[in-house]
């Protein structure tokens, strides 16, 4: 287990792979600054200052502000794909795998909501190349959930007439947790995950 594991939601920080330490600190500072003020209102000087570094030190690791957003977005989306893939390729029935996908995806969006908001709301700020890379990762997220729903329909576990639309709605419901989730609110990430797994199983007509 990582020492960066959070108390809320029990999720591991997604930045462990970023080295050296200065590059990771800058990434964390950029997430906070983008979340607070928005991408366009944040300067590389702001980000360096938050990380306790000089603008010159930032440029050793990231050539532009967009490179920081791109890196954050790629790591965030790769983590999302990994969570959904692990659930989709598990051993249980489609019902069990869909419940697992939804509860773990919800826990991630509740526990890492600051990162998730930046990743979701600042997509338009990416250049065309970075954007198409991220869009490909988003299609993989979609494909993992759609795969479970198709399995469930084939196995007679689910009753779904619009598989694509239902997949979209399931992902959307989980992603929006990042917008409204409040650590001081009455529900833990685990509780929201359990509730949402139940609601999604109803959406697909399970059991």
In the complex, minimum distance from the CB of residue 186 to its own copies, in angstroms, rounded to a whole number: 8
Which is nearer to its own copies, 18 or 148 (by Cβ)? 148
In the complex, minimum distance from the CB of residue 160 to its own copies, in angstroms, rounded to a whole number: 10
Which is nearer to its own copies, 156 or 186 (by Cβ)? 186
Q: How far is CA 125 from the centre of its chain?
A: 18
Q: How many helices (H) and strands (E) does the chain have?
A: 10, 0
Which is nearer to its own copies, 90 or 165 (by Cβ)? 165
Q: How many CA atoms lie within 13 A of 48 on its CB side?
A: 16
In angstroms, the CA 201 to CA 205 distance is 6
In the complex, minimum distance from the CB of residue 141 to its own copies, in angstroms, rounded to a whole number: 12
Cβ atoms of 192 and 104 within 8 Å: the answer is: no
Which is nearer to its own copies, 18 or 106 (by Cβ)? 106
In the complex, minimum distance from the CB of residue 187 to its own copies, in angstroms, rounded to a whole number: 7
Contacts of 13 (CB under 8 A, 6+ apart): 2, 4, 5, 6, 112
In the complex, minimum distance from the CB of residue 57 to its own copies, in angstroms, rounded to a whole number: 24
Count other C-beta atoms under 10 Å from residue 179's C-beta.
12
Footprint of its own copies on this chain (CB under 8 A)? 37-41, 120-121, 162, 165-166, 168-169, 172-173, 175-177, 179-180, 187, 192, 195-196, 199, 202-203, 205
Which is nearer to its own copies, 89 or 202 (by Cβ)? 202
């Amino acid at each position: 287990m990582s020492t960066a594991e959070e108390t809320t939601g029990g999720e591991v920080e997604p930045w462990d792979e970023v080295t050296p330490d200065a590059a990771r600190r800058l990434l964390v500072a950029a997430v906070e600054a983008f979340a607070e003020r928005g991408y366009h209102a944040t300067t590389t000087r702001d980000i360096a200052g938050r990380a306790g570094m000089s603008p010159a030190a930032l440029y050793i690791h990231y050539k532009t502000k967009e490179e920081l957003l791109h890196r954050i977005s790629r790591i965030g989306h790769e983590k999302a794909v990994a969570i959904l893939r692990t659930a989709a390729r598990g051993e249980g029935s489609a019902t069990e795998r869909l419940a697992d996908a939804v509860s773990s995806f919800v826990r991630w969006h509740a526990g890492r909501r600051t990162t998730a908001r930046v990743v979701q709301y600042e997509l338009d700020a990416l250049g065309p190349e970075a954007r198409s890379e991220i869009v490909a990762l988003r299609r993989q997220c979609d494909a993992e959930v759609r795969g479970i729903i198709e399995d469930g329909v084939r196995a007679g576990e689910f009753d779904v007439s619009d598989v694509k639309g239902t997949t979209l709605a399931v992902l959307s419901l989980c992603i929006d947790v990042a917008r409204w989730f409040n650590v001081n609110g009455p529900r833990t990430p685990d509780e929201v995950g359990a509730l949402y797994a139940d609601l999604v199983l109803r959406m697909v007509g399970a059991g």
